Amino acid sequence: MNRGFDESWLEQLKAKNDIITVMSRYFSLQQKGKNYWACCPFHHEKTPSFCVNGYEQYYHCFGCKEHGDVITFIQKMESCDFMTAIEILAKNANMEIPTLHMDDNIKEKKHLKESILKILDLAYRHYEENLYKPISKKAQEYIKKRQLTKKELNKFHIGYSIDWTEIIKYLQSHGFKENEIVESGIAIKKDNRCYDAMGERLIFPIFNIHDECIGFSARSLEQTNYAKYKNSANNIVFDKSKNLYGINIVRKLKQEQQLNNVIIVEGQMDVISLNKAGFCNCVACLGTALTPLHSRMIKNLCDNVILALDGDSAGQKASIRTIDTLLEGGLNVKVVKIPEQKDPDEFIKAYGKDEFGKLIENAIDCVEFKIKNKMEQYDISKVGEKAKFIKSAIEIVNELNTNSEKEVYLDLIKKLTGVSVDTLKKDVVNNKNYGKNNERNLIYTEDAEIKAIKFVLASLCYKKEYANFEFDLSKYLINSTYLKLYNVLKDYSKRGDKFLISNLYDIFDVDNEPNIKDIINYNFELISNPIKYYEECVWKIRETYLKEKIKNLSEESVKLENINAKMDILKQIKELQNKLRNKILED
């Protein structure tokens, strides 16, 4: 799926951005045979299952099933859209991006995105100017109360919405239409009138990792029946499940110095307060639980995370939920337990940045945190409660991968309960791999014709020595996707051009085409005799076609009254049956 670019230009772009070279800027790859291997950057694993094919210029993870070409890789690693990935690779290759040949729908989306980004850029700068006007006294008093200096205000571009319509008039004076302002999320329409969605609130612009303003978070400055904090609605440029407050600052920090860890806090004021105290490596979610996409964004910047969520019970529960998501994302996780149920902002104001620094230094391992947090739910001075805690703690230990890890935490449980490690070991159930798909069984349970088509097309894609176009399968393929792929491969073969698996990512929307995805990731190791199997598959495709034709002719014959016409059809059926019996490929 080329999204407006000529396939030849995309091929050239990818040729100048060798996937091995590009990936090596993010992590180390180890060559084994023809392929390169690494621990997957998209999920947590200790044994490398992320495979990169340098010749075919694509990657596939046998663990989490992520796959793609160099463009897809940049999209996922940089948390950006297709066009931004193209811009990054074109800059890297010193190539000029050509004029796009897009359909009207893509053109409209591109124009809308560009328009929204311009509106948001203009709006956040105007909100920022508003903060210093005499009319903004309420916001200025709040800023003073929160002890924010000009440095923080400038760094985070904090602003103010004066009233419910001022920003709309301002944007309209710069040529933007009402519907564009509504699409950007700045305005909402009610009773045929437009209002500032963040009216009379303190404004915190939200920037993506590329330092573009993509939305706003806003705080009410007085008692209201509405939520204290409000975020922009999701749109073409903003999705709170894919963005983190402060991520742009952390990325800049990484470019300037080594980044040892990223601190995750709960709110914008925590991020700002920590920055003021010198902890600039912090981010916060935007009114949503931390998602796998958030984990990936952080993983692209650093491997180590410190959770410093609020010290109250809600904050501790959020920490437990967040830990598993971060671990699944391949991150090393430690947890800070903030005393007195304070949030980071309150703690720093009460005790200073040095004391908070000590909390960070003494952050505990996430498994230890889970076990100790679980213990707080029981009164272990009582026998029954202690037994319940031990059972819960053992469940946490059982989630670990190695016996050595388990023993370390069994020792912790021993110290907390007095129960010997030997006794605890008896309660530990070794991890077993239930529910793993048996790919070999799947091959034989799938519909026989589909199975045959996938193997033939995969063999042609990977240029297996036994695969060829001697017998034209065009009229036998059962859907447009298979037919399109077959014709693409046939055209490449006729022209004598070099075909790479990565070319499929320019032609198809692979993530939304499971049939193509299955062909790209075909496991040839499951086929014991591929030459013989290829011949059987070609015949299976032909056989299905012949049987379907016989069935249709038989149904047609029943409806006929003319005896001559009936005899003619019966003759055709006999010929087809003969071809079936003798496995004749040609018509």
Q: Is the pLDDT of residue 438 over 80?
A: no
| Residue 393: Cβ within 10 Å count | 26
pLDDT of residue 403: 83
Would strands 159-160 and 201-207 be described as parallel, antiparallel, or unpaired? antiparallel
Q: Is the pLDDT of residue 435 over 60?
A: no
Determine the average pLDDT of the residues in 507-532.
86
pLDDT of residue 51: 93
pLDDT digits (tens, 9 = 90+) for 222-280: 877 777 889 999 999 999 888 999 999 999 998 888 889 999 999 899 999 999 999 99
Determine the average pLDDT of the residues in 133-142.
95
Pairwise CA distance, residues 324 & 301, whole Å? 19
The residue among 190, 187, 185 whose CA lies nearest residue 215 is 185
Tokens of 390: 């031990």
Structural domains of the chain ordered from first start? 7-93 (3.90.580.10), 104-238 (3.90.980.10), 247-372 (3.40.1360.10), 377-427 (no CATH), 439-582 (1.10.860)
Cα 392 off chain centre by? 32
Determine the average pLDDT of the residues in 1-20.
83
Q: Is the pLDDT of residue 101 over 70?
A: no
Pairwise CA distance, residues 458 & 116, whole Å? 42
The residue among 286, 241, 244 whose CA lies nearest residue 262 is 244
Q: Is the pLDDT of residue 210 over 60?
A: yes
Name residues whose C-beta falls within 8 Å of residue 383's C-beta, 6 or more positions apart in sequence: none
Determine the average pLDDT of the residues in 177-182.
93
Tokens 């004021």 sit on residue: 269
Split at pLDDT 50, 70, 90, the class of 2 is low
What is the CB-side half-sphere exposure of residue 568 using CA atoms within 13 A? 7
Name residues whose C-beta falls within 8 Å of residue 260's C-beta, 6 or more positions apart in sequence: 281, 302, 304
Specify the amino acid at residue 97: I
Name residues whose C-beta falls within 8 Å of residue 127's C-beta, 6 or more positions apart in sequence: 159, 160, 161, 167, 203, 205, 216
pLDDT of residue 429: 57
pLDDT of residue 443: 35
Per mean pLDDT, which range of 128-137, 500-509, 529-538 is the poorest? 500-509
Determine the average pLDDT of the residues in 285-290.
87
pLDDT digits (tens, 9 = 90+) for 29-47: 999 988 999 998 887 777 8
Q: Is the pLDDT of residue 566 over 70?
A: yes
pLDDT of residue 128: 97
Portion of the chain with pLDDT greater than 70, in percent: 95
Tokens 């998209």 sit on residue: 42
pLDDT of residue 174: 95
Per mean pLDDT, which range of 80-89, 99-108, 301-310, 559-568 is the poorest? 99-108
Higher-confidence position of 444 and 306: 306
What's the chain's average pLDDT? 87
Split at pLDDT 50, 70, 90, the class of 1 is low
pLDDT of residue 525: 85
| Planar angle of CA 368, 369, 370, nearest 5 degrees | 90
pLDDT of residue 400: 84
Higher-confidence position of 429 and 419: 419
Per mean pLDDT, which range of 39-43, 357-361, 438-442, 477-481 is the poorest? 438-442
Determine the average pLDDT of the residues in 10-37.
91
Q: Is the pLDDT of residue 14 over 50?
A: yes
Provide the 3-class DSSP secondary structure of residue 11: helix
